[in-house]
Amino acid sequence: MKAWNAQKGGAAAILVADDKIEPLITMDTPEEENADAEYLQNITIPSALISKSLGDSIKKSLTGGEMVNMNLDWTEALPLLLLLPLFVEAAALAHRRRLQLPVS
Residue with more model confidence, 38 or 29: 38
> How high does pLDDT run on average in the chain?
78
Least confident of 25-34, 51-60, 72-81, 82-91: 25-34
CB 26 within 8 A of CB 58: no
Cβ-Cβ contacts under 8 Å for 44 (sequence gap 6 or more): 7
Q: What is the pTM of this model?
A: 0.61
Question: Does residue 50 contact residue 83 with C-beta atoms inside 8 Å?
Answer: no
- The helix (run of H) or strand (run of E) holding residue 58 is helix 52-63
For the chain, what are the domain ranges? 2-72, 73-104
According to CATH, what is the number of the domain 2-72? 3.50.30.30
Instruction: Pick the more confident residue, 29 or 7.
Output: 7
Residue 3: exposure state from Cβ atoms within 10 A (0-12, 13-18, ≥19): buried
Residue 17: per-residue pLDDT: 93
